[in-house]
Structure 1
Amino acid sequence: MAIDPFGTTTTSTTTTSASSSMSQLSEDYESFITLLTAQIENQNPLEPMDSTTFISQLAQLSQVEQSVATNSNLEGIASQLASMGAITGLSLIGRSVVAATDEVTLESDGASAELSYALASDAASVTMTITAEDGTVLRTYTGLETSSAERQTVTWDGMDYEGLPLPAGSYTVSVEALDTDGNTIASQTYAPAKVASMTYEDGLATLHLENGDTVLAGAVEEIL
């Protein structure tokens, strides 16, 4: 299951937002024209609208009209970008990608796997633990890189702590990062997985991985 330990969840709503803004501006534009027309029709002939005020209102109308046109163009660009994302997502089916997850898969008995992690801030100590589905600890890596400057890589040889090769299957990986005071630092683990299929939902290309995770095509860290 993909996790977000840094406490932030980013969801792209570009297409929806563009459509909402376009609809609102169109309504404002129509309302402005209606009100301006009614004002002109019902003005007192003996006290006509001040020309300065009228020009100011026309300028406002022009600004709203330009905003409508701008948002229409932006909506078209957003749709084109979403379509490009869908095409990119389709090209990833059958390929392995690296994405945020707490699951790692061994493709065959005794196979190795390249894991990685990222830290929210620099740590004093970092430990990675690999466990079986029932929670049994299989392997522990200590003294890992403590820098948060980039994603750090750890190669698991596919063996347990006794040096015995493990069977093909899915395992859980976790990282514990501590600062100098022993406080936990937020971390995120990553592992490769094959893309089984893709769906296009709410204008977003969502990849369905063979390990059961789902990830947005734009959230893929690396393509193998």
Structure 2
Amino acid sequence: MQVSGATAGRTTAAGSGGSAIVSDYTTFLKLLTTQMQNQDPLNPIDSSDYAVQLATFSGVEQQTKTNDLLTAMQSGFGLLGMGQMAGWVGREARSLAPVQITDARPVTLLATPPSGADRLVMVVEDADGTVVNRVDLPADTTEFIWEPVDLADQPLVDGRYVFTLESYRDETQLGAAEMASYQRVTELRSGPTGLSLLLEGGVEIGIGEVTAVRG
């Protein structure tokens, strides 16, 4: 077909920007008119080919409008979500995110040992994965406040740390799992991947990572 290349070019331009499809619709019709005027009278183009071109262009245009509508709706939902969750700012969110230690301020941690454990050990690692402390905990530990110190009982340097709970029974390790913590929310953000929370100290987590919020 003589204008198939031109049609493909228009479609490619539309794919790179939805507004291009709408703005070029008149140009597309002009191309079809020119094609009809310059076709070989001994070998005219079948009318069904014109119909296919029009239907294809119209379908792409409609898809573009649909995508624009969905984008607008998603933006609206995001703003609605931010309005509903604005109250989280200033409160404490529970998650498995790394904990930002600053000035050795105490941190609230949660232990969830498996049934039957008679000994618990909290393992503290820095951002490089180096173990900076191992702390024995009572077997019935759940939520507790810990003052960040290293193996030499010195305050931990500022940085991000990960806490893991090792569970034992009769000196046999039952398992190890990341420990959750409560950290204060300082900001609510909206981005390409959805809503997120900025925690005190600069750690950012997605809304889906939060398992509890409290005042």
TM bucket normalised to smaller: 0.5 to 0.7
Cα 1:30/1:175, change in 2 over 3 Å? farther
| Counterpart secondary structure, 1:135 | strand
Cα 1:33/1:128, change in 2 over 3 Å? farther
Match of 2:53 among 39, 52, 57: 57
CA distance in 2, matches of 1:193, 1:61: 53
Structure 1 match to 2:27: 34
Q: In 1, are the aligned partners of 2:164 and 2:176 still within 8 Å (CA)?
A: no
| Counterpart secondary structure, 1:49 | coil
CA distance in 1, matches of 2:193, 2:79: 8
Deviations 1:117-168 (A, max 9, x none): 9xxxxxxxxx7524498913223578x9xxxxxxxxx6144479xxxxx9xx
Matched, 1:155 2:142: yes
Matched, 1:221 2:211: yes
User: Percent of aligned positions with the same letter in both sequences?
Assistant: 20
Structure 2 match to 1:198: 188
Cα 1:59/1:68, change in 2 over 3 Å? same
CA distance in 2, matches of 1:23, 1:196: 38
Higher RCO by CA contacts (8 Å cutoff, separation 6 or greater): 1
Alignment map for 1:38-187 (pairs within 5 Å): 38-43=31-36, 44=38, 46=41, 47-103=43-99, 113-115=109-111, 129-131=122-124, 135-139=132-136, 155-158=142-145, 172-175=162-165
Q: Which amino acid aligns with 1:70?
A: T
Q: Which 5+ residue runs of structure 2 have no aligned equivalent? A: 1-13, 114-119, 148-152, 168-174
Cα 1:65/1:200, change in 2 over 3 Å? closer
Cα 1:141/1:59, change in 2 over 3 Å? farther
Cα 1:51/1:110, change in 2 over 3 Å? closer
| Counterpart secondary structure, 1:61 | helix
Structure 2 match to 1:120: none
Cα 1:199/1:159, change in 2 over 3 Å? closer
Q: Which 5+ residue runs of structure 1 have no aligned equivalent? A: 1-20, 118-126, 145-153, 161-165, 178-184
| Range moving further from structure 2, 84-93 or 26-35 | 26-35
Cα RMSD for the two superposed structures: 4.5
